[in-house]
Amino acid sequence: MAWIRTCASFITFGFAFYKFFEYLNEGVENSLSNRLFGPPEFALGVIAVGVVTLAIAILHYKHSLTLLQKESGETYRSLAGLIANFVMALGLGLLIVVLLRK
């Protein structure tokens, strides 16, 4: 769950950063977004780090569940996997929104 919280923080921080600078640049001709690496690219990077890290965490979680099931013979279920997949879908959606608006 700590991985999910941290990755969700990265995703929301990146999207908030993107929207904040989009709001600041409304109607401004000489904006920061005309640079090679400006606020939109930074926001995209932060969201991407959150999504990729969450994907790695999900794979690690599934691997850990598989090892537990082999050792004990019992099937383990947790709400953490469902929440992680939901946050991952949300993060991918936000990543696509930022990419399309860029």
- pLDDT tens-digit profile of 54-81? 999 999 988 988 898 898 888 877 888 8
Mark the ranges of the chain whose per-residue pLDDT is less than 50: none
Confidence (pLDDT) at 54: 92
How many domains does the chain contain in total? Answer: 1
DSSP state, 35? Answer: S
Asked if 91 contacts 11 with a C-beta cutoff of 8 angstroms, the reply is yes
CB atoms within 10 A of CB 56: 12
CA angle 49, 53, 55 (to 5 degrees): 120
Range of the domain at 89: 2-101
For residue 13, how far is the Cα from the chain centroid?
Answer: 9
